[in-house]
Structure 1
């Protein structure tokens, strides 16, 4: 019969996911500082790896001397020597 349609204001107005508050926003300054907004939880952290859960899957930062410098409910700041960034898609 009729299929239920779900839309959000962000979808209707065609906002990018970070503006609509759904997806993560990652700002990298050089290789020493990372600001992550709209994350859900910290999955794993050590001096070599920090893995975060986001609405779009996990994001993993790898490097040396990584440290969580600021931790707030919707954003955090990572400092250290970043060597790689990878994403894992969310399982449906």
Structure 2
């Protein structure tokens, strides 16, 4: 119920919902790069799987030769051969 009212307020004020609701943003740059925004922490990091905790879910990137190019408190870029993206 509270999330619904936050979503309505964001819409009425024309604010970005991802910012107000803390939703994770995923942007693919082809099959070899992905940028994740609004994540909270790194749960698992191997060359074939990266699992991240977001506010409302977990994000799992599967592939090969995966590498985190950079990360900040709010954003990270992952390079490699990306085969899958899953939400838990």
Runs of 5+ consecutive residues of structure 1 not aligned to the other structure: none
Q: Is 1:31–2:31 an aligned residue pair?
A: yes
Partner SS state of residue 18, structure 2: helix
CA distance in 1, matches of 2:31, 2:21: 26
Larger of the two Rg values belongs to structure: 1
- State the number of aligned residues: 83
Runs of 4+ with deviation above 4 angstroms: none
**Larger helix fraction of residues:** 2
Distance change (3 Å), C-alpha of 1:21 and 1:13: closer
CA distance in 2, matches of 1:74, 1:40: 7
- RMSD in angstroms over aligned alpha carbons? 1.8
